[in-house]
Copies of this chain bind each other. A is one copy, B any other.
Amino acid sequence: MSVTIKDIAKLAGVSHTTVSRALNNSPLIQEETKERIRVIAEQLDYTPNYNAKSLVLDRSYNLGLFFTTLSKGTSAGFFYEAIRGVNSVIQDRYQLIVKGIDDYTSFHSITRKSFDGIIVVSQSDDDQGIIDHIAGKGIPLVVLNRPVTTAGVLNVLSDEEQGAFLAGSYLIEQGHSRIALIEGRQGFKSAQNRKDGFERAMKHYQIRVPEAYRIPGLYDLESGHKAMQQFLLLKERPTAVFCCNDEMALGAMKAISEAGMQVPGDISVVGFDDTVFAAYVTPSLTTVRRPIEQISTEGAIRLLGNIENKQHETEQLLLKTELIVRESVRSLSS
């Protein structure tokens, strides 16, 4: 079996209480005693049993990192950056437990005993159920990527509506008036926000978008590809397409080139997210940058603060999005 503080106690000729205090660097214990005990612990390669610690200290040392889904509609880049961001903050202090919300059949097992804090990377309003559950249990919680108003819940997200507005406005300012939209996955909040921002730009500049210029997508390459094929069948084709993420934009560009047309010569394309490959496709993709990694680091920092101060300060942090102009949009105004 593994070595416990009692084993150390026996060797050091003290009680296990003293060992516990010594290893936790309690001021009650004499410095020499501490040192003697530390040496023995080291020699025996002692590791505390975290289950026992958790039981008595009422802390789990676990952080939950929950995504709306791991299997459908979450893009690899987004997922990766979110985990990276959180991981860079927590270092050694916590274990990071990654889970898809749609894998839960019941939230029953999510308790204050099993998670010291939880980060929900929320992509859908449907996540409200788990958010309410977590908040109801009094577990420190931060929700990323989607606005929530639940009391006591921290919230970090980017202003996607504004980003989409910038993208739409940019297309118009470049002289486009026949502008189509490939929407995000239905039920995803980001899909709604980006569409809203786009529509606001259209309204602001009084550009009419016919119904045939709006097609819902699934945030993946294939759906962007298919949607663009639809647009290409229209008698009056759009001169520009705003795609609600970069992957769909890439799919759309593929469809355009397969049809023997050019980006941006024949049709301009704008994406959203500024994924790593956006700068490297040909032509490079004009898109909206969303600070995913920053969102997740900020979220993690706030969560840890909240856990350690035990105070539940509610605060919403809205990070800016930014239009990144590259080569995939043609100016018609000159």
Q: By the criterion CB–CB under 8 Å, are A51 and B47 in contact?
A: no
C-alpha spacing A80/B83, complex, angstroms:
10
Q: By the criterion CB–CB under 8 Å, are B257 and A221 in contact?
A: no
Which residues of chain B are near A79, meaning CB under 8 Å? 76, 79-80, 83
A30 touches B (CB below 8 Å): no
Q: By the criterion CB–CB under 8 Å, are B51 and A55 in contact?
A: yes
Q: By the criterion CB–CB under 8 Å, are B88 and A47 in contact?
A: no
Which residues of chain B are near A92, meaning CB under 8 Å? 103-105, 109
Interface flags for A179-210 (1: CB within 8 Å of B; 0: not) read: 00000000000000000000000000000000
A316 touches B (CB below 8 Å): no
Contact of A251 among B76, B114, B280 (CB under 8 A): B280
Contact of A99 among B74, B77, B96, B220 (CB under 8 A): B96
Contact of A103 among B87, B99, B221 (CB under 8 A): B87
C-alpha spacing A109/B92, complex, angstroms:
10
A70 touches B (CB below 8 Å): yes
Residue of B nearest to A256 (CB): B282
Q: In the complex this chain forms, how many copies of it are found?
A: 2
CB of A106 to closest CB in B, whole Å: 9
Q: By the criterion CB–CB under 8 Å, are A282 and B282 in contact?
A: yes
C-alpha spacing A263/B105, complex, angstroms:
49
Residue of B nearest to A254 (CB): B280
Which residues of chain B are near A111, meaning CB under 8 Å? 2, 47
Q: By the criterion CB–CB under 8 Å, are B91 and A103 in contact?
A: yes
Contact of A108 among B47, B52, B83, B112 (CB under 8 A): B47
A54 touches B (CB below 8 Å): yes
C-alpha spacing A70/B80, complex, angstroms:
9
Which A residues between 10 and 50 are near B, CB-CB below 8 angstroms? Answer: 45, 47, 49-50
C-alpha spacing A225/B49, complex, angstroms:
49
CB of A271 to closest CB in B, whole Å: 12
Q: By the criterion CB–CB under 8 Å, are A254 and B282 in contact?
A: yes
Q: By the criterion CB–CB under 8 Å, are B80 and A76 in contact?
A: yes
Contact of A76 among B49, B51, B250, B276 (CB under 8 A): B276
A71 touches B (CB below 8 Å): yes
Interface flags for A246-290 (1: CB within 8 Å of B; 0: not) read: 010011011001000000000000000000110111101000000
Which residues of chain B are near A95, meaning CB under 8 Å? 62, 97, 99
Residue of B nearest to A104 (CB): B92
CB of A158 to closest CB in B, whole Å: 19
Contact of A83 among B54, B87, B98 (CB under 8 A): B98
Which A residues between 140 and 189 are near B, CB-CB below 8 angstroms? Answer: none
Which residues of chain B are near A250, meaning CB under 8 Å? 277, 280-281
C-alpha spacing A105/B92, complex, angstroms:
9
Which residues of chain B are near A280, meaning CB under 8 Å? 221, 225, 250-251, 253-254
CB of A82 to closest CB in B, whole Å: 11
